[in-house]
Amino acid sequence: VTLDVQAACRDATVTQELLKEGFHRDLLVKVELGEDAGGCAVAAKMRLPPGIYVDPYELATLQQHNLTKAVLIPDVIDLEAPQYLARDLVLLLFLEPDAHCSRCFRAAVPVHVRYHRPAEGTGEALVVLESPEVLLCCCHGHLSAECWEPAEVDAPCSSDTTGPCQWHSTKHRPAYEEVMLRVPVGLREHSALVCALTLLTTGLCSGLILAAACKYGHFS
């Protein structure tokens, strides 16, 4: 299949959406190239900020059931770390052809929001997802040097192969430059009240457990 690279580069567009509500979302990525890219692998390279992450164990399960295809870098992360102790992640998400559009590709992956520090004066923090980089791998085609350039991605052309291939990146027109996720956080001015209530509740529960143990326990 011959790909008109100049048109594909000039007219490539990418959109990303966060589906569902709360701390557990689905990130949907859609790419539309300028021309039919049949026979080529298309992927989105995303940099996830510390406030959001992909669970590598969940990702492995989804890939076993052929529900998504992706490479997470690094592939071992601390799932319990709060936002201020976490690092950026790189996600290479392989896109599937859209059955209704020969130039369109899409894929979704579950993402999770980390807990943030309490804020002062506001009950929310912002997590900003930048527009992903569009990557193309045509193993049997020739890419125009004027439009596509080699990308620094050491990954296979698909999750079914092990050997690395040469990806190429292109500039595109994002529908939105970035996606902002508003995360609810505690208020710093409530810290004293929260600590006092936590201490009181802990003492009360400990007292009830001790009283029950003394009343109903059997001690030799």
Q: What is the pLDDT of residues 202-213, one digit of tens each?
A: 999 998 998 888
76 with 56: CB under 8 angstroms? yes
Whole-model pTM: value is 0.76
Between 193 and 132, name the one with better pLDDT. Answer: 132
> What average pLDDT score do residues 177-203 get?
79
What does the DSSP 8-state code read for residue 52?
E
Q: What is the pLDDT of residue 41?
A: 83
Between 98 and 7, name the one with better pLDDT. Answer: 98
Q: What is the pLDDT of residue 2?
A: 38
Q: What is the pLDDT of residue 175?
A: 59
Q: What is the pLDDT of residue 13?
A: 83
Q: Which amino acid would we find at residue 45? A: K
193 with 199: CB under 8 angstroms? no
- Joined together, the tokens standing for residue 188 give 């710093």
117 with 123: CB under 8 angstroms? no
In 138-201 the beta strands, taken as DSSP E runs, fall at 149-150, 168-170, 173-174, 178-184
Q: Positive or negative, the Cα torsion across 23, 29, 129, 43?
A: positive
Between 33 and 95, name the one with better pLDDT. Answer: 95
Q: Check whether 173 has a pLDDT greater than 50.
A: yes
103 with 32: CB under 8 angstroms? yes
3 with 36: CB under 8 angstroms? yes
Q: Check whether 5 has a pLDDT greater than 50.
A: no
Q: What are phi and psi of 83, to 5 degrees?
A: -60, -40
Q: What are the domain boundaries of the chain? A: 13-186, 187-219
Q: What is the pLDDT of residues 87-138, one digit of tens each?
A: 999 999 999 988 888 788 999 999 999 988 887 777 788 888 988 888 888 7
> What average pLDDT score do residues 50-54 get?
94
Q: Positive or negative, the Cα torsion across 134, 163, 59, 79?
A: negative
- Cα–Cα separations (whole angstroms), residue 136 to 7, 91, 132: 14, 15, 13
Q: What is the pLDDT of residue 178?
A: 73
Q: What is the CATH number of domain 13-186?
A: 2.60.40
State the pLDDT confidence band at 196, using cuts at 50, 70 and 90: confident
Q: What is the pLDDT of residue 73?
A: 87
Q: What is the pLDDT of residue 1?
A: 33
Q: What is the pLDDT of residue 6?
A: 46
Q: Positive or negative, the Cα torsion across 186, 188, 189, 195?
A: positive
